[in-house]
Amino acid sequence: MDYELKDPLRLARAVRIALMLWLIASIGYGLAAVYSIVAIGSFQRGAATVEDLGVVDQVNQIAAIPMLLVNLVTIVLVARWIYRVNKNAHTLSNGMSMTPGWNVGFFFVPFANLWKPFEGIRQAWRASVAPHDPYDAPVPGWLTFWWVGWILSSILGNVSFRLSLRAESLDQLLAVQWVDAICMPVDLLTGLLLLRLVGRLSEIQHEASSAETHEAVFG
């Protein structure tokens, strides 16, 4: 299939803005979980009232709404960016075996989503930094740390969701809040590393796109 090299910088800027908003929302969500842990603990010790628990519910709702909205926007933009940089990598090198569609699609395939999306992004990185010899191109260690963080964040988010579905007692609700609180630093690390990935890979492909345009114009 023929692909066209497109400068990813404009899309990357939108992704980075969404990611920064997502990081802010994640901090708010995590702090709401910490507040809930403290408030529920106080109630269980007899130092807080039922009205205080009502405030906990309100705080969680306030934190959850922006988190949900920003999360949806960020997922869409990151998926578009992955699709774009994979397509670009195909135009730069013959070392790509994963298609843009599958690089995004594997995120939604159980078990395969544990490694296949990362495999596609790693291929795109190598094809972009060393188009003529991608197989021996080094992959930075922080890229692997980002993917490990992504997996941990996904697992913790899934655990939190499942626990929340059957949380009927304060102890069960407390367990949900602990998982959310633990997830906050993992999300922050993952988000910061993803910001770095989006910025660095987009810049590499931008330089390749600029060089191709220059060659097409001036020969």
166-to-116, 173, 179 alpha-carbon distances in Å: 32, 9, 15
Structure confidence at residue 218 (pLDDT): 39
Q: Is residue 100 exposed (0-12), middle (13-18) or buried (19+ Cβ within 10 Å)?
A: buried
Neighbours of 26 (CB within 10 A): 24
Structure confidence at residue 215 (pLDDT): 47
Q: Which amino acid type is present at position 59?
A: V
Q: Is residue 190 exposed (0-12), middle (13-18) or buried (19+ Cβ within 10 Å)?
A: buried
- The one-digit pLDDT tens for each residue of the chain (219 residues) are 678 899 999 999 999 999 999 999 999 999 999 999 999 999 999 888 888 888 999 999 999 999 999 999 999 999 999 999 999 999 999 989 999 999 999 999 999 999 999 999 999 999 999 999 998 899 999 999 999 999 999 999 999 999 999 989 999 999 999 999 999 999 999 999 999 999 999 999 999 887 554 344 334
Which residue in 112, 120, 193 sits closest to 150, CA to CA?
193
Structure confidence at residue 49 (pLDDT): 87
Structure confidence at residue 212 (pLDDT): 56
Assigned token pair, 18: 């969404």
Q: What is the DSSP letter of 114?
A: G
Q: What is the DSSP letter of 45?
A: T
Structure confidence at residue 209 (pLDDT): 81
What is the rounded distance in angstroms from the CA atom of residue 103 to the CA atom of residue 135? 18
Structure confidence at residue 84 (pLDDT): 98
